[in-house]
Amino acid sequence: MKNSILKRSIIVISILLLIICAFSCVYAADENPSEVTMETLSKNGIVVHYPSNWGYSESTSNYSFMALSKLSSIDSFGVGQVNINFEKKPIEGEFYSFVNDTYRSMQKDSSFELISSGGLMISNIDAVEYIYTSTENGVEREHKAVWFEKGGQAYVMMYSAPTADFENDLYIFDYMLSDIQVT
């Protein structure tokens, strides 16, 4: 019994340290940390918290219901080059088959390269993660997409950035993913 309590305590402490570290990273990334605050956005049963040096932006996807971008990366069309996009699509068939078929069809494009895929949990929901690269208009981008099912719909939260910039802001996506609320 003591081992069980000890293991739970270690897990809780580890989670708290990760959250503290994520907040520290958000503040450390900005030149003037006193000006960065945490903002909240809620739409379609999804609640996320993000740093104020990110903001709402346009999306190029027809399925998008919410898009956030690093403010300094938003172009003249309002689309962020470093962004986190939230999409919702009707599921055709079984969820995992639907998601896997999506990436199987993308692999027909020679500019698509799958880096990794696997399962994870977000907000106590089973999810699937895909990390891949693609090239569009001569720009290679890296993407991290996390899919989950809610109410017969497939939801995806996807971080995308030019390959050279991908690692710089990945911690923002990872923090948002660890803190997401699905209602």
pLDDT 10s digits, 13-36:
444 444 444 444 444 444 455 688
Model pLDDT for residues 24-77, shown as the tens digit of each residue: 444 444 445 568 899 999 999 999 999 999 999 998 888 999 999 999 999 998
CATH for 131: 3.40.1000.10
Q: Which of 124, 126, 128 is nearest to 144 (CA)?
A: 128
Tokens of 152: 């017969």
Residue 52 lies in a domain: yes
Residue range 88-98: mean pLDDT, rounded: 92
Statement: residue 119 has pLDDT above 60: yes
Domain count of the fold of the chain: 1
Q: Which of 179, 164, 163, 161 is nearest to 70 (CA)?
A: 161
Residue 143 lies in a domain: yes
Q: Are 154 and 88 in contact (CB under 8 A)?
A: yes
Q: Are 54 and 74 in contact (CB under 8 A)?
A: no
Residue range 99-114: mean pLDDT, rounded: 90
* Other residues' Cβ atoms within 10 Å of the Cβ of residue 120: 12
pTM of the model: 0.79
Residue 7 lies in a domain: no
